[in-house]
Amino acid sequence: MRDTEVCRRLLGIEEPWTINRLRIDTQTRELHAFVGRGQGWLARVVPDQPKSRWRHSNVGAYKAFIHATVTDGLSDEEKGVGFIGRPDTEFTTGLARKVTDCLKAGLRYREVCQLLDIDVHLAWQIRHAIQEGMLGTELTALADSMGADIGQDALPDIPPVSDPAWRRLLSSEGSLNPRLLSLRLLLTRARQEFGRLEDESARMIRINEIRRFFVKHRKQLGYEIDQLQSLRSVREKETSE
């Protein structure tokens, strides 16, 4: 049996979806599966660079990530399969369901995060999805207990994805002078693309990409985070007026 077929079964990927390519990083213990619909020439209709990346349930000691493009032609049922997620999130539906199953079984959210190897940033995203009813309105009551468990680990200095500060940062309305060269290059590219994007899902993906960078390099970005807070302050002032 081929490696891609073994991983397809382990990740719960069902036909007509198939794994086009695998990347396994033994240093970071990460498994990246690039998936598409169909086989052979049918699979090649999916762009070479998938638009979305989601964290999925671990495969043994390896964190699993699914890369795919969710097209408008898919039905709601097809978009709801467990091995992909919404374009504006960073987790698969299957991982979120595991979280809610553990919570309903009586585990505390902090314990669930440790069990499933979920970091604080992803924990807050899943909590928000549950709170907003994205995983079913019957689960929204779980969000309150989750907030108490992870509140101490929140990142109040880094705005959530929905905060307008990110849109200001990526448009001509907001400015930020980064000292970190890698962030400067990332912002330059993202700003060039952001203004041309007409699809809201694509814009959310760009915002997610920038926010992930801030979370990952938070200790190095004190100067830049202070500037980001000023963009939030501008928005709050406009709202109050």
Report the distance separating Cα 81 and Cα 84, nearest Å: 6
Q: To which residue do tokens 């169909």 refer?
A: 38
Report the distance separating Cα 86 and Cα 37, nearest Å: 17
Instruction: Calculate ∠ Cα 219-150-32, nearest 5°.
Output: 65
Report the distance separating Cα 16 and Cα 39, nearest Å: 8
pLDDT per residue rounded down to tens, the chain (241 residues)? 688 899 999 999 988 889 999 999 999 999 999 998 865 444 444 445 667 899 999 999 999 999 998 776 677 777 778 999 988 889 999 999 888 888 777 777 777 888 888 887 787 788 878 877 777 766 666 666 565 555 544 566 788 777 788 888 888 655 788 899 999 999 998 888 888 887 776 777 788 788 888 888 888 999 998 888 887 765 444 444 4
Pairing verdict, β 62-68 and 30-37 = parallel
pTM here? 0.59
Residue 206 Cα distances to 121, 186, 209, angstroms = 16, 10, 5
pLDDT of residue 238: 45
Q: Would you say the C-alpha torsion 191, 67, 77, 130 has a positive or negative sign?
A: negative
> 3-state DSSP: the chain helix, strand, coil percent, rounded to 5?
50, 15, 35
Answer yes or no: are the C-beta atoms of 52 and 70 closer than 8 Å: yes
pLDDT of residue 92: 94
Q: Which residue in 124, 2, 100, 23 sits closest to 65, CA to CA? A: 23
